[in-house]
Structure 1
Amino acid sequence: MAWIIVTVAVLPAAMLLALAAVIPRRVADAAARRVRRWVTAIATLQLGIAAALAVGFAMRFVMGTEAPAAIQAGFPAAGAWPIHLDGVSTLMWLMVSFIGWVICRFSIRYLDGDPSQGNYFRWTGLTLAAVSLMVLSGHLLLFYVAWLMTSFGLHHLLLHDPGRPAAQRAAWTKFAIIRIADVALAIALILLDAEFGTAFLGEIFVALGDIAAASPRLQVASLLLVVAGSIKSAQFPFHTWLPQTLETPTPVSALMHAGIVNAGGYLIIRTSPIVSAAPWTLAVLAVFGTVTAAYAAIVMTTQTSVKKSLAYSTIAQMGFMMLQCGLGAFSAALLHVLAHSMYKAHAFLASGNVIAERTAVGVMSTRSVGSSGPMPVALPGLVTWLAAAVFSLGALAGASLILGLDPSTKPGGFVLGAVLFLAITRWLEKAFAGGDRQLVVRSIAVAGGLCLLYAASYRIVDGYAAGSVPAASLSALQWSVIGLIVGCGFAGMFLIDQVTSRPQLSGRFGRWFVHAGNGFYVESTLRRVFGSLVSS
């Protein structure tokens, strides 16, 4: 039964790869309608299979030994299988399949009439197949081949309009930077194969349970996995390629930001038993994630371009996701990847409506529709912040109690809880400062609902990931250092947001606002390094 499940799972990806390999560009463009119909149909088939497997895994998890025999025996056991089906891969594959299906459907109308739409769908199918195989792979070589194919497909999608110099620069800058990640990952996989004598992930995970202390070779491999994942997920300072890829069609941006850029995070989550064997590498990852999240969030608030603001938003979200991995909160990181993918795909695909939406918001604000008048007493700034802090803390505590979550038992629970506390407090503070009683009540209700939704989603994802991700084993000193760095980073970002949100900035802060708007010139500096590749 297991081999049938594996065959059915990889069938859509194999069909998409065959379609891209058999049909040349000239034929694809000549028969564009047929090609896009085939690719969309296969993407639909894959979504159906992924949904069925996700439901089957959930039934097996919830029902336990009472589940139907077909479900109990259907999923292959961890071991010498080239496809590794567990809760982590099943959830990620469902997300990838859904995003791919949505983008295929959206692209039909978006690229209608484009002379190269057949070739576009050809490479979109190949990229979707590569990401799917990477998510499902249970063998180091298969994972690496799918990893390379993902970059290969994205490179051709970025060059959909090769006549645009900005598209050329973005594609080749990304090509050069990601090659560093490819080399790091290749060396890491070679070291892992030499260390364990097998390239099957299931066998490596089983062997890790018998290791008391990581050997130098295993520690180097863990560090290289962290490096490869960080570069692939656009961590600072290797993030510069992502904001440059705005010349590509909007569906490609959605696919890249909602799916492909998550490959680095998935690498860390998938190999979390390996990376956790050398806990100091998790500390390195947490530092990189904190720096990236703080830097990108500051730059994002200064951007005037919608797509560039979304690009830096992706970098900030990937930084926070890497921070979660560094804290050992792999289930929280997996939930973050899933939620961010859905949000960012919608944000990019709906970015064309931003002008109409802003116009509507402006009209509504001038009419003051639904305003219940100012609050009886205008609260001072400190009192407003304290009130927002009390309500946000109550929302987080209430959600945890209702769903039985104890932050002290979860890796990085208090650190991540403090970050969420700052975010909700800042949001409620803005609502309270407006002085509209109805807005305050709605904001408190929404904050409580969001906390409940997050806690419930975490319980579901943690149930799927149970047994696939390890518990964090950092020392007290490492926790102290990580907590200090994370606390300083997010507290500093909170203070900067407080200062820059004032209507008028002083000359000193005005200058820093300009510097932040230019990304503190990191992009222009690295462009000099990789710019020569554009003409190569």
Structure 2
Amino acid sequence: MTGDERTTTVGQLPTPDRDRARLPATLTRVVWLLWALSLVVLGLRWWRGEGWELAGVVAVDGLTVVLWAAVTFFGGIVHSYARRYMAGSETIDRFFGRVFAFTLVVLVLVAAESLVLFWLAWLAMGLLMADLIGHVEGWPQARAAGALARRHFLASSALLGVALATLWWETGATTVSGVAATVDGASPLVVLVAAGALVVAAMVQSALLPFHTWLLSSMTAPTPASALMHAGFVNAGGILLVRFAPVVTVEPAVMLAVVLVGAASALGGKLLKTVQTDIKGTLGCSTVGQMGFMLMQAGLGFFAAAITHLILHGFYKAYQFLSSGSRVEHTAPNGTSDGGTTGPVGGAVVVLTAIAGGALFAALTGKGTALDTGLLLAGLVVLTVMHAAREVVRQSDVPAAVRYGAVPLVALPAIAVYATVYGAIEGLLVGLPAVDEHAALTPVHALVGVAFLLTYLAVDTGVYRRSRRLYVALLNAGQPARETLLTDTEDYNEY
């Protein structure tokens, strides 16, 4: 497409009439009403300590009510934002219909007790998201991105179907709880096949390496759809592993494999992020890394930590996408660095704050106080605090005294909030099968911890930039599919 045959009209978008604006307004109110109802259900579940179920169809347990509250809140934010973002679009009703349907499908998914219903919701969720990615009609790149995502999601659904059919054939169970109750007596080989299919399906849906290309190619989606994707859709992998924890925890080798693939994506996403030059690409690589963290926590056996991570990451990433336009600065390069140096005093503040953050997390959650995989979880908290604290200390335009004092005053309360949310979610998940079976500590876990430490040091100190081969490899790995690339500015102007 060159755009030479087209007439581009520049001007104010038409104001939608009342009939055109009625459906978006109605659906937005319905989603916010669902959020209010989900809070009521969450309160009742917390007060009563038990859930509800429609035998063989749906089950409202602690995981369900937490995710209902999160999904409807994110959905309400996206619906409200999209009303202005899509104003004047001829396809606004179709867009809102798909976003609303996607929200409802996810609500069904997290409550599904029937294996068939769970699979159908998983399939519908992927197809709806693929349609949102390719939403813009007449845009070849959008159609290509939607088709690429659809192929990935169909493959994920096929893998999930294989896993569920295998479990049904072996156990005779047709429900999630039925599988949990009978999987211990199943053939180890059959369980291994089912668990492997579940893990790969989760990897595809959560855009872990090497299945991340569909996510990096999805930037043709309208910004509200991108926010919904990064704040909600990619979290499905974590939900899948938590819901089928009795299957993936039967064989320790599977749990170790989940840790390794999660760690590879966490570290790979962090490195890929450093070579991105556009905001959405940076956020996409960040999501790849964060989803790696989420699955890694599930592989360690800390399923409540995985749910906490996906919820808090959802808040953060939804905000990042919906505010991405305000972060674009039209300035010329000046050749200066982004920040100053840390210095001896700043370095001491960063290290001490990170250690204090890890100790606070361990004290509030009890994770990291014994010789088990909780040490790795607490170690990741230390590295995260260290990285965030270093970014604050390097802000040379702020007085040193303010920077050094702000680091612990901001970081430690944030860790306390995270630990509190973690504890609350852990309490709600009590009673779910296998969610409290932490993996045994092995030398492989120690190596993963060392890899995280070395990677963080390499990125924070800039040592990795000395390797041109690494730079080229990261640049190539972080590219979207060729058919989804925008190479002509007229393409941007047209759509």
Q: TM-score interval w.r.t. the shorter chain?
A: 0.7 to 0.9
Q: Deviations over 1:404-452 (max 9, x none)?
A: 6242469731001112212222333454565702210111211211221
Matches within 5 A, 1:234-383: 234-355=207-328, 379-380=343-344
| Counterpart in the other structure of 2:182 | 207
| Counterpart in the other structure of 1:532 | none
* Deviation (angstroms), 1:456: 1.1
| Counterpart in the other structure of 2:470 | 512
| Counterpart in the other structure of 2:52 | 76
Q: Give the Cα separation in 1 of the matches to 2:56 and 2:327.
A: 47
Q: Give the Cα separation in 2 of the matches to 1:159 and 1:150.
A: 15
* Deviation (angstroms), 1:150: 0.7
Q: Give the Cα separation in 1 of the matches to 2:461 and 2:416.
A: 31
Q: Is the CA contact (8 Å cut-off) linking 1:258 and 1:344 kept in structure 2?
A: yes
| Counterpart in the other structure of 1:423 | 384
Of 431, 445, 465, which residue of structure 1 is paired with 2:429? Answer: 465
Q: Give the Cα separation in 2 of the matches to 1:213 and 1:189.
A: 13
| Counterpart in the other structure of 2:444 | 481
Q: Give the Cα separation in 2 of the matches to 1:164 and 1:411.
A: 52
| Alpha-carbon distance change, 462 to 182 in structure 1, aligned in 2, over 3 angstroms | same
Q: Give the Cα separation in 2 of the matches to 1:328 and 1:418.
A: 15
| Counterpart in the other structure of 1:58 | 46
3-state DSSP of counterpart to 1:204: helix
Q: Give the Cα separation in 1 of the matches to 2:367 and 2:205.
A: 33
Q: Is the CA contact (8 Å cut-off) linking 1:324 and 1:412 kept in structure 2?
A: no
Is 2:428 the counterpart of 1:453?
Answer: no
| Alpha-carbon distance change, 410 to 253 in structure 1, aligned in 2, over 3 angstroms | farther
Q: Deviations over 1:323-364 (max 9, x none)?
A: 1111111010000011011111111111111136x99xx9xx
* Deviation (angstroms), 1:511: 5.5
Q: Structure 1 unaligned segments of length 5 or more: list them.
A: 1-28, 62-71, 369-373, 529-536
* Deviation (angstroms), 1:252: 0.5
* Deviation (angstroms), 1:198: 1.8
Output the amino acid matched with 1:468.
L
Q: Give the Cα separation in 2 of the matches to 1:187 and 1:410.
A: 37
Q: Give the Cα separation in 2 of the matches to 1:294 and 1:398.
A: 25
Is 2:163 the counterpart of 1:188?
Answer: yes
* Deviation (angstroms), 1:388: 2.6
Is 2:91 the counterpart of 1:116?
Answer: yes
Q: Give the Cα separation in 1 of the matches to 2:440 and 2:373.
A: 12
Q: Give the Cα separation in 2 of the matches to 1:475 and 1:212.
A: 22
Q: Deviations over 1:361-409 (max 9, x none)?
A: x9xx99x9xxxxx99xx954xx7545532332123213543x3624246
Q: Is the CA contact (8 Å cut-off) linking 1:253 and 1:348 kept in structure 2?
A: yes
3-state DSSP of counterpart to 1:246: helix
* Deviation (angstroms), 1:90: 1.0
Q: Give the Cα separation in 1 of the matches to 2:86 and 2:116.
A: 35
Of 144, 149, 153, which residue of structure 1 is paired with 2:124? Answer: 149
| Counterpart in the other structure of 1:49 | 37
Q: Give the Cα separation in 2 of the matches to 1:164 and 1:473.
A: 48
3-state DSSP of counterpart to 1:84: strand
Q: Deviations over 1:495-517 (max 9, x none)?
A: 32134289xx6xx4356335423
Q: Is the CA contact (8 Å cut-off) linking 1:399 and 1:448 kept in structure 2?
A: no
Q: Deviations over 1:135-174 (max 9, x none)?
A: 1111110010011111121122122213112211211111
Q: Give the Cα separation in 1 of the matches to 2:82 and 2:392.
A: 38
3-state DSSP of counterpart to 2:124: helix
| Counterpart in the other structure of 2:61 | 86
| Alpha-carbon distance change, 272 to 391 in structure 1, aligned in 2, over 3 angstroms | same
Q: Give the Cα separation in 2 of the matches to 1:518 and 1:427.
A: 27
Is 2:27 the counterpart of 1:39?
Answer: yes
Q: Give the Cα separation in 2 of the matches to 1:232 and 1:404.
A: 30
* Deviation (angstroms), 1:44: 2.2
Q: Is the CA contact (8 Å cut-off) linking 1:214 and 1:277 kept in structure 2?
A: no
Range 191-200 or range 288-297, more displaced: 191-200
| Counterpart in the other structure of 2:72 | 97
Q: Is the CA contact (8 Å cut-off) linking 2:265 and 2:288 kept in structure 1?
A: yes
3-state DSSP of counterpart to 1:252: helix
Q: Give the Cα separation in 2 of the matches to 1:254 and 1:84.
A: 28
* Deviation (angstroms), 1:281: 1.1
TM normalised by structure 1 equals 0.79
* Deviation (angstroms), 1:492: 3.0
| Counterpart in the other structure of 1:13 | none
Q: Is the CA contact (8 Å cut-off) linking 2:302 and 2:438 kept in structure 1?
A: no
Q: Give the Cα separation in 2 of the matches to 1:277 and 1:526.
A: 42
| Counterpart in the other structure of 2:408 | 444
Range 430-439 or range 120-129, more displaced: 430-439
Output the amino acid matched with 2:467.
F
* Deviation (angstroms), 1:196: 2.0
Q: Is the CA contact (8 Å cut-off) linking 1:30 and 1:118 kept in structure 2?
A: no
Q: Is the CA contact (8 Å cut-off) linking 1:285 and 1:326 kept in structure 2?
A: yes
| Alpha-carbon distance change, 58 to 411 in structure 1, aligned in 2, over 3 angstroms | farther
| Alpha-carbon distance change, 279 to 527 in structure 1, aligned in 2, over 3 angstroms | farther
| Alpha-carbon distance change, 33 to 411 in structure 1, aligned in 2, over 3 angstroms | farther
TM normalised by structure 2 equals 0.85
Q: Give the Cα separation in 1 of the matches to 2:422 and 2:370.
A: 14
Range 411-420 or range 289-298, more displaced: 411-420
Q: Give the Cα separation in 1 of the matches to 2:169 and 2:28.
A: 41
Q: Is the CA contact (8 Å cut-off) linking 1:269 and 1:469 kept in structure 2?
A: no
Range 243-252 or range 409-418, more displaced: 409-418
Q: Structure 2 unaligned segments of length 5 or more: list them.
A: 1-16, 486-495
| Alpha-carbon distance change, 223 to 154 in structure 1, aligned in 2, over 3 angstroms | same
Q: Is the CA contact (8 Å cut-off) linking 1:269 and 1:325 kept in structure 2?
A: yes
Q: Is the CA contact (8 Å cut-off) linking 1:302 and 1:513 kept in structure 2?
A: yes
Q: Percent identity?
A: 28
Q: Is the CA contact (8 Å cut-off) linking 2:346 and 2:404 kept in structure 1?
A: no
Q: Is the CA contact (8 Å cut-off) linking 2:349 and 2:404 kept in structure 1?
A: no
Of 224, 228, 237, which residue of structure 1 is paired with 2:201? Answer: 228
